[in-house]
Amino acid sequence: MTAEERYLFDLQGYLLVRQALSVEMLGRLNTTINEMESLTDAEVEAMGIPRRPTESDTYARAGISSDSLGDYTCDILKYGAVFEELIDWQPILSRVDEMIEDSYRLDAAILMSRHQGGAFRFHHGYAELLPYSEYVCSDANFSCVSVKISYALTDVGVEDGCFAVIPGSHKSNFQNPLVGQIPDPDHPLVGPIPSRAGDAIIFSEDLSHGAVHNRGCRTRRTLFYSYAPAFHCSWDGMAETASGFQERAPSRRRELTRVSTPFEEGIASAGL
């Protein structure tokens, strides 16, 4: 990271990286997702990548989507193909290297498709102690417990339900008054982050984040890749890879997706 990026990540809890994806990579990602979305629910389930309708405590819907697929999420690495290339995408991993510092792994990779009416309530960023999300900076070094990347595959303005944060909330010592609320882009504490297709937002999981209501007609298509220290478990199998991955993947990708235990990591770090 540059000196400015280190300052901003510590100050805000996130970095916006413009054009993190090349035009060629962005095109291949969207083409592959188009192909996936042409398959039936039965076909994608047989491939091990079922589309899960979006249902969670943080999700909110103001209306009914007219899209036949609705709002859904799927564990994208099981599809393989171009999605494996993002596991060690250097323009982003060069920054994550400094944010986590210790040996780390990919612990989740998911595709989110959102349509008109959907929103995500603010969560995290209110001085809670969670083993999977703590932000740490000590002696001018980051040792974050969870760093996530949001890759925008479509242009997302405020009216399209863009990502939103409360800047600096990853270091809060007080209860966050907006947690559980849908982000209001006009609220003075809220920082909506409009993105162009190909942009990436790198953020600490400890940062209070959500998404404003999608009041437009465009689909918001986003890939989320999540990294954590090697002793962490993956998020409910969300980093499982496709058949043949171990044989075709470069060593860096295999290492980033290797499942290990705290005991194994302790032995390795002790040189035993």
Domains, the chain: 3-270 (2.60.120.620)
The most distant pair of C-alpha atoms in the chain lies apart, rounded to whole Å, by 58
147 neighbors 97 (Cβ within 8 angstroms): no
Token look-up 């909330």 returns 169
Q: Residue 176, CB half-sphere, CA atoms under 13 Å: how many?
A: 27
pTM: 0.89
Question: Could you tell me where the DSSP H helices lie in 38-111?
Answer: 41-46, 90-100
What's the rounded mean pLDDT across residues 138-159?
Answer: 93
Sign (positive or negative) of CA dihedral 25, 155, 213, 114: negative
pLDDT tens per residue, range 210-239? 999 888 888 889 999 999 988 766 666 788
- What is the structure's pLDDT at 119? 85
Handedness of CA 182, 185, 186, 190 (dihedral sign): positive
User: Which residues, including other chains, have CB under 8 Å from residue 18's CB and lie 6 or more apart?
Assistant: 196, 198, 199
pLDDT of amino acid 270: 40
Summarised one tens digit per residue, pLDDT across range 8-65 is 999 999 999 999 999 999 999 999 999 999 999 899 888 888 888 766 567 666 544 4
pLDDT tier for residue 132 given thresholds of 50, 70 and 90? low
Given a contact cutoff of 8 angstroms between Cβ atoms, the answer to whether 167 and 191 are in contact is yes
pLDDT in tens, 72-129: 889 999 998 899 999 999 999 999 999 997 789 999 999 998 887 788 889 887 666 5
Which DSSP symbol is given to 183? Answer: P
According to the model, what pLDDT value does residue 71 have?
Answer: 83
Q: Using one digit for the tens of pLDDT, what is the confidence trace for 252-262?
A: 999 999 875 55
Write down the pLDDT at residue 260.
59
Closest CA to 48 of 241, 258, 193: 241
Dihedral pair phi/psi, residue 151, rounded to 5°:
-95, 120
pLDDT in tens, 183-200: 999 999 999 999 999 999
Residue 245, Cβ density class (10 Å: 0-12 exposed, 13-18 middle, ≥19 buried): middle
Beta strands in the chain (DSSP E): 14-17, 52-53, 59-61, 72-75, 104-114, 118-123, 137-138, 141-142, 147-152, 163-165, 191-192, 200-204, 209-211, 220-229
The residue with greater pLDDT, 66 or 6, is 6
| Banded pLDDT at 175 (limits 50, 70, 90) | confident
CB atoms within 10 A of CB 201: 22
pLDDT at 146 over 50: yes
Q: Can you tell me whether residue 109 is helix, strand or coil?
A: strand
Q: Place 269 in a pLDDT band, splitting at 50, 70 and 90.
A: very low
Which of 50-54, 145-149, 152-156, 225-229 has the lowest average pLDDT?
A: 50-54
SS3 102: coil
Q: Which of helix, strand or coil describes residue 6?
A: helix
